Every structure is written in C-alpha cells, then in structure tokens.
Amino acid sequence: MKLEVLQKIIKKKQNKSEFAIVTNLSTGESEIFEKNKNLGENLEKYKNQINKFFETKKNGVIEGTEIFVESYIRPIKVIIVGAVHIAQYLVEFAKSLNFEISIIDPRGYFASKQRFPEINIINKWPDEAFKEIESSSSTALIALTHDPKIDDPALQHALNKKFYYIGALGSKKTHENRCQRLKDAGYNDDQIKSIHGPIGIKLGGKSAPEIALSIISQLVSETYKK
C-alpha cells in the first residue's frame, strides 16, 4: 500500500468517515472507495460489486477476482435515556461494537463520569439534551427510566426524526400506557408500533446484564436490517 493512501485512510478514520479499502490481492495495489466517486481504471468496472459490499457493511473478495473489499462504516449513534444499572452493561457490550454511545439523564447522581467513564453524558432533560446531539434516521434510542417525564419527550423526538431503532423498557402494561400517551399526543398507530416495547428479544433472562444482552441483540439485529 502506498504511503499516500495509508495517510488518507488514517485521516478518514479519525474523521469517522464512511469508505472502503479496495485491494488487488495479486498486485497489492489499494484504492479508497467512497460513494459517488470514481475509482481508478482497473477497479471502476467492479464498482457495483464494491458498492454492494459497502452498502451491506461486509468485507470480502469479489467472486471470480482477486479484489478484496474492506468496509469502514461510521459508528452508529445510540442514545440511551436513563443512566440506570442496565445502561452500564449496555455500555460494556457496545464498546466492542460499532456504536457511539451518548447518555441522557437529568439526574446527575445516576449519570456520572464515575459510573460511565469515557461516555458522552448529558445531564439535561431530553428536550434540552437533543439540542446538543445531531440525530437522524440512522440514530437509535434506548429509553430506560420508566419515568414518562424523561422517556416520553425522548420517544417523541425519536419518532419525529424517524430513528431506525426505538426501544423502551417496561412491562406490557407500562408499554400500553406509554402508547396511549403517545396516541393522545397525536402519534399514529404505525409510528407507535415502530417502538420496540417491551424492549429486547426474548431470552428469558431477568438480571440486569441479561436484559442488557437482550437489548443489544435486538439493536444489532435491527442495525443490519437498515
């Protein structure tokens, strides 16, 4: 790999850009692939196959060739509302995954750097906190407080922005009440049904780490459906 290409790769990683490294395994030549940009003459004919690897967030060799594609995807923003015990396990699971975590909780005694080192913590109510976080349809929300004053504004923001994943902790009865409040606030059935509640896949676990595992499993599953 040429030094110039390596330097560009390092810079793109630092900037959290989305790109792929395309390498001819027989010659060792490498190029950087980005959407809507042309490749060199020797690789341009494989652009559709390269883009397929990139879009599906996969690495691999293009069939019938010596062309290897390695995709680098921007970390997915995951916003956790509620710095509860389960959140600590969620953060631990997320560390080894391609997620960029932020925690919102106005209760400073829960959301502290001691409990969540190296995590972006915003000790504000959701309406104020979301002014500090850039979010889009590629963002995920995990609401954990059970407190309508905290969870509901966050859920409304996520619905308005069409987050690709929205989950809320609580029993079936808690979720029914939550859905009714959202309906009263003007959200339609399709929007409300997009919320995973009770959150997580059914693993049968009851402890905080088991619940966190069920949540992170569901999040990963939904991420690969994007």
Listed by start position, the domains of the chain span 3-72, 76-223
pLDDT of residue 110: 87
For the entire predicted model, the pTM comes to 0.77
- Mean pLDDT across the stretch 28-46? 85
pLDDT for the residue 39: 84
- For domain 76-223, the CATH class is alpha beta
Which whole number is the average pLDDT over 97-114? Answer: 90
Mean pLDDT confidence for 104-125: 92
Q: Which token pair is 95?
A: 């560390």
Res. 5 pLDDT band, cuts 50 70 90: confident
pLDDT for 212: 96
Contact yes or no for 215/90 (Cβ under 8 A): yes
Please give the pLDDT value at position 226.
Answer: 65
Contacts of 52 (CB under 8 A, 6+ apart): none
Query: CA 77, CA 166: separation in Å to the nearest integer?
Result: 12
pLDDT band at residue 40 under the 50/70/90 scheme = confident
Q: Provide mean pLDDT across the span 39-49.
A: 87
Task: Show the tokens assigned to 20.
Answer: 């792929």
3-state secondary structure of 20: strand
Per-residue model confidence (pLDDT) at position 42: 83
Give the separation between CA 71 and CA 50, rounded to whole angstroms.
9
68 band by pLDDT with thresholds 50, 70 and 90: very high
Residue 15 has pLDDT above 80, yes or no: no
Strand order in the sheet with 30-33: 30-33, 19-24, 67-72, 60-61
* SS3 of residue 158 by DSSP: helix
Among 30, 33, 120, which residue's Cα sits nearest to residue 79? 120
- For the cut 90, the answer to whether the pLDDT of residue 182 exceeds it is yes
The residue-averaged pLDDT of 3-16 equals: 78
Look at 104 and 19; give whichever has higher pLDDT: 104
pLDDT given for residue 204 in this prediction: 86
Percentage with pLDDT > 70 across the chain: 99
